[in-house]
Each structure stands twice: as C-alpha cells, then as structure tokens.
Chain A
Amino acid sequence: MDAIRSYLQGDGAVILPEMELVLFGLGILLIDFWIEERDKYLNAVLALAGTLFSGGTLWMLRGRVAASGGVLVGFHESAVVDGFVLFFGALFLASTALVILLSVKFMQIEKEQEGEYYALLLFACVGMMLMASGVDLIVMFLGLETMALSFYVLTGFLRREKRSNEAALKYVLLGAFSSGILAYGFSLLYGLSASTNIGAIGAALGQRNQLVQAILRSQQPGEAGEQMRQLLAARLPVALNFDPFTLQILPMLAFVLVLVGLLFKVAAVPFHQWAPDVYEGAPTPVSAYISIASKTASFALLLRLLLLVFASSQPTWIYLIAGIAIASLTWGNLAALTQTNIKRLLAYSSISHVGYILLGLVGGNETGLIGIAYYLFAYVFMTAGAFAVVIVLRQKGLIGEELEDLNGLYQRSPASAVLLLIFMLSLAGIPPTAGFMGKYFIFLSLIESHHPLLALFAVLYIVPALYYYFRIVAHAWLKQPGEAPQPLMTSAQAIALGVAVFVSLAAGLYPEPFYKLAKYAFGQ
C-alpha cells in the first residue's frame, strides 16, 4: 500500500489521470460481459464517470503543479504535468465526455452500444493526454499511436456500414503511412542529438543553430566578422570550414518529416484528404471526436515540438507554416462551399480552422499562443455543438447528415435551430461568440508580428466561410420542412448541447476567465 502511495506521490502523479482512465476502460470491458443488452448504456455511464473522475484528478493536480513551481516532472523526465497539460488534458476530457454523451442514443440506434466502443473512447483520451504530457519522443509517439489506433477502430466501428469500413481502411492506411513518416523524422531527431528527450534535442539543435549563426557572422567582412573568426579559431577551429547550410540540412529534413506527420493528424492542406472521407464515413460521434479531440491533441504535440525542439529555427519555418495555413484556409473554404453533406462540410470547415490556428503559430508571440489555446478551446465546443445537432437529427430511419435533412429544422425543433445558429456564428467567427474571440487573438498576433497581409487574407476568408455556414443556417431556418420527423433530444444530448452552447457564448460574451485559462496553458 505504501508502495502504491509513494508511487502516486512521485512518478505516478504525473500519469494519474491517464491511469484512472485506463482503469475505467478496463472496467467497462469487464462489466460489458455481464450487462444485458438494454442496460448497455451503463457502459456510457461508467465511461462518463471515468472522464469526470479523471477530470477531478486533473483539478487536484493543479495545486501540486503550482506547488512545484509550475511543472511536475516524472518518469526520468519523460512526462510532465504543467499548465499546458492541465489545459489540454481538461480539453480532451471535456471533449471525451461530450462525445460519450452524444454517443449513447446514436450507438443505440446503430445497435452498436458496446463496451469496446466506450473503452476505446477512453483509451483514445489516454493517448491524447500522453501526447500533451509527454516530453520524450517515445512517449509522444506511443501516445499518438494509441490515440490513432483507437480512432481507426472507432471509425470502422459500424462494421456493417460500407462507408464506415471504407473510412476506417483509408484512415488506417494513411494514418500508418503518416506515422511512418513521423517516425522517420523522430529517428533523425534522435540521430541529431543522441537523446529522445525533447529538451535535450532542443538544446542540441539550438547549439547547432548558434554555431551556424556564429559561422555566418564570421563570414561577414569587417571587425565583427574578424572577432568571430578569432573566437571560432580558438574554440572550434574545424568549424571555420563548415558550410552553415550543410549543418542545417538534417535538422531541416527532420523538421519537415515531423511536420508532415503531424500536419496529417491535424488535417492541414495538403495532408487533409483523409479528413472529409473519414468524417463522413465514421459514426457521427466519432467524427466529432476526431474533429475536436484528435486535432487538438495533435496540435498540443505540434506546439510542444515546434516550441521546444525547433524553437531556435523559428524564423525560418514560419513561412512554411504560413504557406500551409493559407493553403488550408483556401482549400478548406473553397471545398466547403460545394458540400451537401453536413459532416463533410464540417470537415472542410475544420480544415480551414486549422489554417487559422497555424496562423497563430506564425504570429508566434504570446498573443499568438494564447490565441491558439483560445481558438482550440472554442473550436472544441463549437464543433462539438455543431456535430451534436447533426447527431440529434439522427433518428431511426433518418440518417440526417445531408443539408436537405435540415430543412425547416426551425419549425421542427426551434431549440436545436437556435443552437445550430449559435454554433455556426461561432464557427464563422461572428461576435459575441467564442469563435470570434479565438480569431481575434490570432489576428492580433499577426498584426503584432507584422504580417498584415496574412491577416488580411485570414479575415477575408471569414466571408466565404460565412457563406457555407449560413447555407446550413438557411436550410434550418429559411427552408420549408419536408416529411422529416421531429427530432427528439435525449437528456444526454441536451446536456452536451447545453455545455457546448454555454461555452460558445460565455467565451464570447465574457472572455475574461477563458482568457486567463488560455494564458495559464502557456505558463502564466
């Protein structure tokens, strides 16, 4: 007992929330054997309890994190708990909880209310939390894979659905391919620093970068160059013969490989193509989960890597990121214009959101990071809300994924129509909603970092975005209802929608606490 307690006081604390989730997952797998078909919802209850429990633990950890100077380190510096982890962890747990709430009725209709489903949801969450808390390449990679594998399976969970099969197959093949690329990049990173700890890798790359700068300085004519030449000759004579570019080649290669691997996971153009297909084919709650949680987690990982490992070469890669961001914005918005399937449309829209978030990275200053956190936060809830409305539409005998299915939603269910409107406004970034505040910080950071043209691009893309979001709204509000039945909202769905809409509005109307939260994520 003491051993357990001391473990929990020490290393164990770092992964306590994850452990709880795993335990709950295993518990679900166990009790699933015993419960009757009609009581299967208990799986969901247990899963929800798991997220809440884990969330509670996360909340408790907050004090310990503060007590130990802002960061808890464990497992030989391979995992940490800090504001970043708490923020993202809470976000993952929240999205998992939302998805669980949304899944109950949906999976019942699909007749797939199984323990494995909920267990996989929890395991995916474990993976994501590890992605956020890992500071070791191996931990990160395994966390990513845990999440990814869970998602592959969840996507294909409707085994009788052809589209679900296909989506899962595409997802697993492409996902594994991108993981391979990522792993190749990781291997190079290891080769560059002889360590898998990202702090050490970052330091090694930083040193290399310093040397490159020194060499460049020494090549300049004049006094400063001369001084630097002498310094180098004294410290590291061989460096005088180095070509600075050659020194940076391998970090560059590693960077690009890692970036591609992760951009695939966040579905940035041109690595996005799996997303619409998978969103469409997957069970809708899973689409929501992939859309909100997987993306957020991958961003957490990307942020850790870019800000810790590749920080030294930041000025060189922001243009790369900016290009990807603009491509994502353009392509996402362009493609979304013509979609008729709501899930696909949301997929493309989420691609354009990735563009905005990446622009925050381009800004790169404090505002930009807060903006990313705020944006992701808002994104989770508003996207979850949007998917939730689609899920509410799903009835026996009605798939409810096409725009036409929304027709006259206002007459059929005013409440869901109003909610849908709020989510769409938030997604489009119209104040006073959370989506606007997220965009606000991103734009501000772009201006602060003197990228007015990028900012202009970014704001103008709100316009086509609004067009397709309001196509959804127009279908729901302005068209006459057809034969479609009245959607019935279960209480679980109502709770999920309530939470989503509360956050979407509160974070827009009174952003102060949310701003503090976002700031906390980056250590203030």
Chain B
Amino acid sequence: MDFLAHHILSVVLFTPLVGALLLLFVPRERDAVHRIVGNLFGALGFLVSLPLLRWFKPGWGGFQFEETADWIPSIGAKYHLGIDGISLLLVMLTTFLGMIAILSSWSAIKLRQKEYYILLLLLQVGMIGVFVSLDFFLFYVFWEVMLVPMYFLIGVWGSDRRLYAAIKFFLYTLAGSVVMLLAILALYFYAPVEPGATRTFDIPTLLAAAQTFTDPLKVWLFWGFFFAFAIKVPMFPFHTWLPDAHTEAPTAGSVILAGVLLKMGTYGFIRFSLPLLPADTAMRAKIIHIVIFLSLVGIIYGAIVCLMQKDMKRLIAYSSVSHLGFCTLGIFALNPNGLAGSVLQQINHGISTGALFLIVGVLYERRHTRLISEFGGLATPMPNFAAIYLIVSLSSLGMPLLNGFIGEFTILQGAFQVSKAWAAWGSLGVVLGAAYLLWLYQRVMFGPVTQFANEELPDLNLREYATLVPLVILAFWIGIYPKPFFALIDKPVQEIVHRVNPDFYKAEHANLAAPELQASRVQVK
C-alpha cells in the first residue's frame, strides 16, 4: 500500500504496459484469452487510477503525487511525474475511456486480436504518459510513442481507406510534434542555468524560466508549440486529418482518438502555450486574436461542414472540430471561467463524442456501413438504443442538465468577459450544433424503416449497455452536479491565470460599489 501511495502515478502509467507484455506471451490462437486479458487490464487500469481521486488534495497548489528518478543525467532529462487537477481529470478520462474502448471491441474485432489489445494498451500508456509527465523529454517521448499504436489501429483494423488515413494521421501529427521538439529544445537551451550545472528538462522549472525570456523569443516558442498542439487539437486549418482518421479508425480507435488524443493538444495549450505568451500587451493581443479567430472559425466551420456529411463518423469527426474550437476559445479567454470551462468541456467532449462513436460502432457492427442514407427509422426496431442515442446527442449539443452545456456555458461566460463578440460567434456554434446533431438523429432514427436490412436489427445487448450507460451516467452527473469537477480544477486554473494573466486579478478598481457585490467578492490569495 505504501508503495502504491508513493508510486501511484507509475502504477497507473505502467499497468496497461504490464497487460501488453503479458499478452505478448499468450499464444496467437487463444483469442478468448486475449480478449479477457485485454479487458482485464483495461478495467484494472481504471481501477488503479481511482485512488488518485481519493488521495488528491484539490486545495493544494502545484503538482501532487510527484515522482522523480534520474534518467539521462547528462542532459538533465528525468523520469519526473506529477499531476495537478487538470491532468488528474484527463488521466481519469483516459483510463475510463480506455476501459470502455477496450470493452467495446469485444465482438467488433475479430482479426488479429492479440495485436489489437496490445496496441490499445500501449496507446493507453502513451496517453497517460503525456498527461503525467513533468519532464519535457519524457513528455515528448510519450507524445510520439502514442502515434505508433494509433497508426496501426487505424491501419490494420480500419475500414476501406485505412492506409491513407493512418499515414495521414501520422504525418500530420508528426509534423506538428517535430516543430514542438524544436521549441522544447529552444526552451531547454535558453533557460538560464547556473554555470557548471546541467540544463534541465523539468517542466515547472522551464516554464518558470520562460517568464524571463524576451518577448520575441517567447513568441517564437509560442508558435512552435502552437503548431504542434493546433494540429493535435485540431484547430481550423490543420483539421483535415481528423475526419479521415476518425472515419477509418475502428470504433475503439475513434473513441480514444476523439476522447483523449485530441485533448493532448488542448492540454498542451493550457500547460505549455499559455506561459509562453509574451508580456507585451500588444503582441499578446495579436496572438490571442489570431488563435481566437481560428477557434471561432473552427467552431462555425466544423458545424457547417457537418451539415453536408453523408457518413456518420465523418459528421461526428467534424463536430469534434467544432467542439474543440470551444475548448481553445475558452483557453485563450485567459480567465478562470474560460479555462475551467475548457477543461471541463474537454472531459465532456471525451464523454459525449466517445459515446457517439460507440453508437456508430453499434450500428456499424450490425450493418457494416456508416452511411446515413443506409439507415432511417431505427427507433422502431431499437427503442432503447434510440433513447441512449438521443441523450448522447443532447449531451453533445449542449442541452442543460447534461454535461455539454456546463462546459459550453462556462466557456462562453469566460469568452464573454473578454469580448462579447467572441461569445456571440461562439453561440452561433451552439445553434448549429443542434441543427446537425438533430438532423443526423432524425435521418437515422426517425421515419419508417426504409431498408429491409434494418427491420430486424437487435437492440443493444448487455455489453453495449455496459459501454454506453457509464458514459450516460457521467454525462448526467457533470450536467447536474459539476461542482466536484470544478473544485478539482479550480486551483490549477487560478494558478495559471495568476501566472499568465495577472491583470485579471489586478483590475479590481471599484466603480460599481454595491455592498452586496462586495460581500460576494471572491477572496483571492
């Protein structure tokens, strides 16, 4: 227990790896064993991450559960792990969605099961690693490592154009990440270091050091990181890999891709890009305007493109572009509301879009097509499915009492404090969101059953319930009682705002001196 308490992050990180290694030694023909072991470790990965929630102290600043060990002392790279509230949520999301994604593959994957589960578990390691690393070198390693399993997941188990989609995904993200590598190296090199001492890759140290950089340098570094994260997120002009990758990937791959992988970009924005914003107000404003512009374009563009999609997965993929646009909008509002909303929305997107992909997976498994026109009237043969699908759609389009609303509202609130126009454009995305999701729902579920093949489709089975219901429950939970989530991220968000936008707290000159307002004034440290 003591070991667990001190190395909890390592345990969380490497549990899937143990599973993958174990699977290596299971003979190829024993498919059932692969399935069971894969699922076991998926579940185990989630279980071992649960103590994090229990032991995490929301009120403490900085990072918790830190672990440090020497790795490459000569260049100052360390095995340094630690999480704050933001990464905690993302880690939990990863382990949770990982478990569900693995479960969802039970009957969908019939080909090369051994490798499939190994790769999924490896992917888990990479993703968790990205969120828990506190050392840039380690971070980068995980960041890249995760590409390879994803490549194979798409490339081997994807659908028709899988080769193309897989390599496109890989190349796109790689292009971003190599540029990020340069930025990391520059950060590493330009950070002041005592004479004689080794430089360090320690993330907190480097980010603190970055505050002393000159503005032009910061701007360069910012764009370096930005490029990588913008591709990962993906922001507007860099989004074209996403529809292909999502569409071609197997269900679990899409779930992970949308649920977690994209969050690595937003996480990067929060953790690395924000501290690199220049101090000069004009320069900063210019950058922020560009980023916000791209976010807004992404929100609206993604939503509009959704309207003409013929392929369900493609539609959902584009909706991700729109949703992630909200996340970046919130981040670059640079205030607690925007950031908190963005973090929460990342979780929400993981839940809702993950569930949407699962839903498409359910249909795909039954009919082996994702074309919207192939369906219609499914509400008749599959009423329970229809209900869950409806809830998930509503969660995705931001219906109050479901998770999506909480995130979107908080983001809009954050954006509104900075610029009313941003919020106005953002809310246009909310409108369009309803349009494409409901239209999709209508085309798939409503009307008479048009295709013979759809008449006798079986409703959800137990395993499918097991994958979908937890997500639905979470969606309701966040929608109805999001306070614990906000409590987790409150501290880190405030710390970030203190660091990157201290003006937010400074601008407290009273010109609206209502005693009631004074009373409800926030006590900020």
Q: Which A residues are within 8 Å of any B CB, using their own CB? A: 421, 425, 430-432, 436, 440, 443-444, 447-448, 452, 455-456, 459-460, 462-463, 466-467, 470, 474, 477-478, 510-512, 515-516, 519
Question: How close is B320's CB to chain A, nearest CB, in angstroms?
Answer: 23
The answer to whether A459 touches B163, judged by C-beta atoms less than 8 angstroms apart, is no
A-B complex: 4 closest residue pairs judged by Cβ atoms: A459-B178, A431-B141, A463-B175, A478-B155
Contact of A460 among B73, B155, B179 (CB under 8 A): B179
Residue among B74, B167, B182, B185 making CB contact with A467, cutoff 8 Å: B167
Instruction: Report which residue of A430, A448, A460, A515 has the largest number of chain B beta carbons within 10 angstroms of its beta carbon.
Output: A430
The minimal Cβ–Cβ distance linking A426 to chain B, given in whole angstroms, is 12
Query: B75 to chain A: which residues have CB within 8 Å?
Result: 511, 515
Cβ–Cβ contact B74 & A512, under 8 A: yes
B424 at the interface (CB under 8 A from A): no
Q: Can you name the residue of chain A whose Cβ is closest to the Cβ of B155?
A: A478
Q: When chains A and B are docked, how far (Å) is the Cα of A334 from the Cα of B344?
A: 44
Knowing A425-B148, A430-B144, A467-B171 touch, does A452 contact B179 (C-beta < 8 A)?
Answer: no
Is B145 interfacial (CB-CB < 8 Å)? yes
The verdict on B170 contacting chain A, using a C-beta distance below 8 Å, is: yes
Tell me the nearest residue of chain A to B114, going by C-beta.
A414
**A460 near B188: Cβ-Cβ < 8 Å:** no
Given A474-B155, A478-B162, 12 more pairs with CB closer than 8 A: A430-B145, A431-B141, A447-B182, A467-B167, A474-B166, A477-B152, A477-B156, A511-B75, A512-B72, A512-B74, A515-B72, A515-B74
B186 is an interface residue with CB less than 8 A from chain A: yes
**Cα(A468)–Cα(B159), bound, Å:** 22
Q: How far is the CA of A516 from the CA of B73 in the complex (A)?
A: 11
Closest to B143 in A: A431
**Closest residue to B140 on the A side, CB-wise?**
A431
B181 within 8 A of A: yes
A463 contacts B163, C-beta separation under 8 Å: no
- Decide: B152 and A459 in contact? CB cutoff 8 A: no
Residue contact B186 to A447, C-beta cutoff 8 Å: yes
Q: List 24 A-B contacts (CB under 8 A).
A: A430-B148, A431-B140, A431-B141, A440-B181, A447-B186, A447-B189, A452-B182, A456-B182, A459-B179, A459-B182, A460-B178, A462-B174, A463-B171, A463-B174, A463-B178, A466-B171, A470-B151, A470-B167, A474-B163, A474-B166, A477-B152, A511-B72, A512-B72, A512-B73
Chain B residues with Cβ under 8 A from A460's Cβ? 175, 178-179
Q: Which residue among A512, A515, A516 has the maximum number of chain B CB atoms within 10 Å of its CB?
A: A512
Q: Nearest Cβ in chain A — how far from B172, in angstroms?
A: 9
Nearest CB of chain B from residue A172's CB, rounded to whole Å: 39
Q: A470 to B164, alpha carbons, bound, how many Å?
A: 11
Q: Does the CB pair A516–B167 fall under 8 Å?
A: no
* Cβ contacts under 8 Å, B72 to chain A: 510-512, 515
B249 shortest CB reach to chain A, Å: 14
Query: How far apart sit A462 and B72, CA to CA, in the bound complex (Å)?
Result: 24
Expressed in whole angstroms, the Cα–Cα distance for A425 and B152 within the complex equals 13
Tell yes or no: B220 within 8 A of A by CB. Answer: yes
User: Nearest chain A CB to B484's CB is how many angstroms away?
Assistant: 36
Total CB contacts across the A-B interface at under 8 A: 80
Q: Does B392 contact A (CB under 8 A)?
A: no
> Do the beta carbons of B181 and A443 come within 8 Å of each other?
yes
> Separation in Å of the A519 CB from the closest CB of chain B?
8
- B residues within 8 Å of A by Cβ? 71-75, 140-141, 144-145, 147-148, 151-152, 155-156, 162-163, 166-167, 170-171, 174-175, 178-179, 181-182, 185-186, 188-189, 220
Question: Are B182 and A474 in contact, CB atoms less than 8 angstroms apart?
Answer: no
Q: When chains A and B are docked, how far (Å) is the Cα of A448 from the Cα of B191?
A: 12
A158 to B467, CA, bound (A): 61
Whole-angstrom distance between the alpha carbons of A386 and B239 in the complex? 34
Write out the residue numbers on chain B whose beta carbons fall within 8 Å of the beta carbon of A447: 182, 185-186, 189
Shortest distance in angstroms between B31's beta carbon and chain A's nearest beta carbon?
16
Chain B neighbourhood of A477, CB < 8 A? 152, 155-156
- Cα–Cα, bound, A440→B77 (Å): 12
CB atoms of A431 and B171 under 8 A apart: no
Q: Which of B74, B178, B189, B220 contacts A462 (CB 8 A)?
A: B178
- Check B181–A459 contact: CB distance below 8 A: yes
Question: Complex: how many Å from CA A430 to CA B177?
Answer: 10
Complex formed: what's the CA distance from A432 to B167 in Å?
Answer: 20
- A474 contacts which chain B residues (CB < 8 A)? 155, 163, 166-167
When distances are taken between beta carbons in the complex, the residues of chain B under 8 Å from A462 are: 174, 178
Contact check, B182 vs A455: say whether CB atoms are below 8 A apart: yes
CB distance from B307 to the nearest CB of A (A): 32
Q: Which residues of B contact A430 (CB under 8 A)?
A: 144-145, 147-148, 174
Contact partner, A452, options B147, B178, B220, Cβ 8 Å: B220
Q: Report A-chain residues with C-beta under 8 Å of the C-beta of B151.
A: 470
Q: Tell me how far the C-beta of B440 lies from the nearest C-beta in chain A, rounded to whole angstroms.
A: 31
The docked-state distance in angstroms from the alpha carbon of A452 to that of B189 is 12
Q: Report Cα–Cα, A477/B166, bound state, in Å.
A: 12
Report the Cα distance A425→B166, complex, angstroms: 15
Do A443 and B175 touch (CB < 8 A)? no
CB distance from B247 to the nearest CB of A (A): 17
A444 and B170 within 8 A (CB): no
| Candidates A432, A448, A459, A512; contact of B141 at CB < 8 Å | A432
Query: Which B residues are CB-close (under 8 A) to A456?
Result: 179, 182
CB distance from A409 to the nearest CB of B (A): 13
Q: How far, in Å, is B80 (CB) from chain A's closest CB?
A: 16
B452 CB, min distance to chain A CBs, angstroms: 32
B-chain residues with CB within 8 Å of residue A440 when the two chains form the complex: 181, 185
Q: Tell me which of B167, B182, B220 contacts A443 (CB under 8 A).
A: B182
CB-nearest residue of chain A relative to B179?
Answer: A459
Contacts of B148 in A (CB 8 A): 421, 425, 430
User: How long is the Cα–Cα vector from A316 to B187 in the complex, in angstroms?
Assistant: 28
Cβ–Cβ < 8 Å partners of A448 in chain B:
189
Chain B residues in 8 Å Cβ range of A519: 74
In the complex, the chain B residue whose C-beta lies closest to that of A470 is: B167
Bound-state CA distance A421–B155 (Å) is 14
A425 CA to B147 CA, complexed, in Å: 11
Shortest distance between the CB of A260 and any CB in chain B (Å): 31
Cβ-defined contact, B74 with A516, below 8 A? yes
B226 to chain A, nearest CB (A): 14
Minimum distance in angstroms from A79 CB to a CB of chain B: 31
Q: How far apart sit A421 and B147, CA to CA, in the bound complex (Å)?
A: 13
* A462–B166 CA distance with the chains assembled, in angstroms: 17
Q: Nearest B residue to A428 by beta-carbon distance? A: B174
B12 to chain A, nearest CB (A): 19
B232 to chain A, nearest CB (A): 15
Bound Cα distance from A467 to B140, whole angstroms: 20
A456, B166: Cα distance in complex, Å: 24
B-side contacts of A425, CB under 8 Å: 148
CA distance A510 to B77 in the complex (A): 11
Closest residue on chain A to residue B190 by CB atoms:
A447
Contacts A430-B147, A448-B189, A470-B151: A478 and B74 contacting too (C-beta < 8 A)? no
Closest partner residue, chain B, to A430 (CB atom): B144
Chain B's nearest CB lies how many Å from the CB of A271? 27
Shortest beta-carbon distance, A183 to chain B, in Å?
A: 41
Task: Provide the bound-state CA to CA distance between A142 and B167, in Å.
Answer: 47
Q: In the bound complex, what is the Cα–Cα distance between A425 and B220 (angstroms)?
A: 28
Assess whether B144 is in contact with A470, with CB atoms less than 8 Å apart.
no
User: In the complex, A168→B140 CA distance in Å?
Assistant: 44
Least CB separation from A512: chain B residue: B72
User: How many angstroms from the CA of A511 to the CA of B178 in the assembled complex?
Assistant: 20
The minimal Cβ–Cβ distance linking A506 to chain B, given in whole angstroms, is 12
Task: Tell me how far the C-beta of B171 lies from the nearest C-beta in chain A, rounded to whole angstroms.
Answer: 5
Give min CB distance, B174 to chain A, whole Å. Answer: 6
| Chain B, residue nearest A455 (CB) | B182
Write out the residue numbers on chain A whose beta carbons fall within 8 Å of the beta carbon of B166. Answer: 474, 478
Residues of A within 8 A of B141 (CB): 431-432
Establish whether residues A470 and B170, one from each chain, have CB atoms under 8 Å apart when the complex forms: yes
Query: Which A residues lie within 8 Å of B144 (CB)?
Result: 430-431, 436
Please measure, in the bound complex, the distance between the C-alpha atom of A467 and the C-alpha atom of B185, giving whole angstroms: 24
Closest residue of chain A to B152 (Cβ to Cβ) is A477
A452-B186 contact, Cβ under 8 Å, with A470-B151, A477-B152, A477-B155: yes
Shortest CB-to-CB span from A378 to chain B, Å, is: 15
